Chains A and B, each alone.
Chain A
Amino acid sequence: MTIPPLFKIALRAIMRNKLRSFLTVLGIVIGVGAVIAMVSIGQGAKVMVEKQLESLGTNVLIIIPISTTHSATRGTTGTITLTAEDVLAIKKECRAVSYVSPGIRTSTQVVYGNMNWTTFVSGVGPDYQIVRNWHLVSGRFFNEQDINIMAKVCILGQTVATNLFGASDPVDKWVRVNNVPFKVIGVLSTKGQSPTGQDQDDLVLMPYTTVQRKIMGVTYIGVALASSVSAEARFEAIEQITSLLRQRHHLKLNEENDFSVISQVEFASTIMETSHTMTVLLGSIASVSLIVGGIGIMNIMLVSTTERTKEIGIRMAIGAREKDILFQFLTEATVLSSIGGVVGVIFGIVLSKSVSYFGSWPSLLSPPSIAIAFFFSNMIGIFFGYYPARKASRLNPIDALRYE
């Protein structure tokens, strides 16, 4: 028997029991749809995390002060261990480090005219822009002179700029922080959310010396951001920074570090792994529903072959071989499951689009996952259709003819 009659017979048999076929197909539709939607949601999350990590800057190392555990006076004493001088020393002596910027941050209110906005003020150095790989949409960044003279200048993040100035350009305008006027010299480009879900654009940058003296009145810094010369050099950079800072902080051999150097990449890979695990998990849960759909096909095919025993007998009497009967029912099962596959792909695309539209959750349709889901829906038709089809093909023609 050639292919076209096989399909004709299969389609006719499927159309004969419309409701039953529809319900059977529905199982596969839900299975395929769920796989596509779940995988695309997982992929979307992965891409979102990737984008956010990129926005943090490449080759970034974060140096944070920590309280030494054996210290009797824990707490505030721990936080003053890192100073701007440490940062300058790192810049001068660590060859694996190309740029480094101090960072100090406090929460405060920024006022422009009758508008005000509570945000973070970050004191940073001129290297900050390079370390974070953060462009300006207008104005300029700090230079060495701004640092040296503790210039009363600031650069606004997008969120702050929008909330205080709306659509107009804030550059050369004056804002007030702690009743001190600051001149806006630049506006940062948009970074979006951080991997931990914070709005990275909700901040005001100032020279770190300005924040230390004019706003906070302290001498320490809260953090140092460094970038290694290359991604591969980051371990070398960590080592160099660690030994330099241990030396500068006069730590004895048996003393623990009073600071910590974290590589962004390691942090990133942990998050990437988590989102990958989530994709796999969602995908496998969805696959279970695809298998359940397959069992539905098997069930219906078993009923169908029993109902059509007489037809099988007639076909055998006029010369259908085992193979012909096998292919007839296998084709029917496969046609059912591939109809389910096609509709399921559409359903899955609609589902993942609506999840990202209504649930503001990113989803990314990956063509391979669509292809795989469709392929598997066919495989499931063949796999679960084989047993009923084989059972039908093994019928004794005499008994089958006599079946009423």
Chain B
Amino acid sequence: MQNIVLLETVYKIYTMGEVDVTALNGISLTIKKGEFVAVMGASGSGKSTLMNILGCLDSPTRGKYYLEGIEASQLSKNELANIRNKKIGFVFQSFNLLSRTTVLENIELPLIYNKRISKIDTDRVHQIMKILGLEEFQKHYTNQLSGGQQQRVAIARAIINNPTLLLADEPTGNLDSVTSMEVMNVFCDLNNKMGITIVLVTHENDIAKYARRFIVLKDGKVLSDTPSQSTASDISQIPCETIS
């Protein structure tokens, strides 16, 4: 399988006043196409920093990051923005939707920033909305929706550009357990049926178990990297089967 993410001894060091804080301490990592990875760890372990670098929001201080073979650690701000637009989809804990803007417009937003697209592909927008069950809300403002609905809008926005990598930073952190399950099932579905590569940050074991690979971070280093108990052949049965 093709390598989507390749990290080679990546360091991220923040300077806070006089003190240097090492957020990532030489992480090396590969993520292959179609994987569903859960990144876990205590707060301060470097999860968010790792996500920022994977999501091309930030560049490593040292080390190299290849996204689909492109060395993202060498790109300019503009090129990073283009990568974010075309190859990355973000889902945040706090949804981060534009308020007082309709569901439809939020979902279309990444397409506006895609230079190659002159006309928005409304068929695709409707298809995505249908998959996520948002069609009836398309004219609603996002601040009129429930948390679960809002997160589904955020997921729709994240996948509208058909990204290589979907990054979810505690996507269920603001949701109740029932809604959390619904949202996680959506992620499973995207991974299973559409083959989207997903990296999920969480500190809840219940959520992490939806993934097929677990990476635990501690003090900016990989503490453990283990596949789920289930073998590759029966992945689809656990626990994502529950959706359909």
Q: Which residues of A pack against B, CB within 8 Å?
A: 1-2, 5, 12, 16, 310-311, 313-324, 397-398, 401
Residues in chain B near residue A318, CB distance under 8 A: 84-85, 90, 109-110, 113, 157
> Would you call B78 and A401 a contact (CB within 8 A)?
no
From B79, which residue of chain A is reached at the shortest CB distance?
A: A321
Most buried by A among B52, B58, B86, B112: B112
Residues in chain A near residue B157, CB distance under 8 A: 318
> Would you call B100 and A16 a contact (CB within 8 A)?
yes
Interfacial residues of chain B within 85-103, with CB under 8 A of chain A in the complex? 85-86, 90, 92, 96-98, 100-101
> Would you call A322 and B78 a contact (CB within 8 A)?
yes
> Would you call B84 and A317 a contact (CB within 8 A)?
yes
> Would you call A314 and B98 a contact (CB within 8 A)?
yes
B55 at the interface (CB under 8 A from A): yes
Q: How far is the CB of B117 from chain A (nearest CB, A)?
A: 9
**Chain A contact surface mostly:** helix
Q: How far is the CB of B43 from chain A (nearest CB, A)?
A: 14
Residues in chain B near residue A315, CB distance under 8 A: 109, 113
Q: For the complex, give the distance between the alpha carbons of A5 and B109 in Å.
A: 10
Residues in chain A near residue B52, CB distance under 8 A: 398
Q: Which residues of B pack against A, CB within 8 Å?
A: 52, 55, 57-58, 77-78, 81-82, 84-86, 90, 92, 96-98, 100-101, 109-110, 112-114, 118, 157, 161
Q: How far is the CB of B81 from chain A (nearest CB, A)?
A: 4
> Would you call A397 and B57 a contact (CB within 8 A)?
yes
> Would you call B77 and A319 a contact (CB within 8 A)?
no
> Would you call A1 and B81 a contact (CB within 8 A)?
no
In the complex, besides A12-B101, A321-B78, 19 extra interface pairs with C-beta distance below 8 angstroms are: A1-B112, A2-B118, A16-B100, A316-B57, A316-B81, A316-B84, A317-B84, A318-B84, A318-B90, A318-B109, A319-B85, A319-B110, A320-B81, A321-B113, A322-B78, A324-B81, A397-B57, A398-B58, A401-B57
Known: A1-B113, A314-B96. A319 touches B82 (CB 8 A): yes
> Would you call B81 and A321 a contact (CB within 8 A)?
yes
